[in-house]
Amino acid sequence: MNPELTALDATARERVAEQIAAKGGYCECCGGTEFDIGDALYLGFLFLDEDRDAYMIALTCSNPDCAKPRTGIVLCRKDFLSDGGGSASP
């Protein structure tokens, strides 16, 4: 894995799925709402217009017939990563 990527555990992936559902997320190509959740890329140091705790989480549409299955969602660290003790980060 690339060192700039953050691997997500099952808890973090579930939190990302909850955020997608809460925000009404869907695939812009096929309209699907189910995604395979990948790794997270920290954006805060790359883009000046992003919050310092912003991450882009890779998503792949689960619809096998989707013509453009790759997308992503930007979330704050506290919305999906835990502090190591099982709770969300402050």
Predicted pLDDT of residue 58: 98
Is residue 87 one of the residues assigned to a domain?
no
Query: What is the domain extent for residue 22?
Result: 5-79
- Asked, for residue 89, whether it belongs to a domain, the answer is no
Residues of the chain with pLDDT under 50: 85-90
Classify each residue of 69-82 as buried b or exposed e, where b means 16 or more C-beta atoms within 10 Å of its C-beta: bebbbebebebbbe
3-state secondary structure of 46: coil
Amino acid at 18: E
User: What pLDDT, on a 0 to 100 scale, did the predictor assign at position 89?
Assistant: 43
Structure tokens at 17: 């799925």
42 lies in a domain? Answer: yes
Residue 21 CB neighbours (<10 A): 10
- pTM (2 decimals)? 0.82
Three-state SS for 6?
Answer: strand
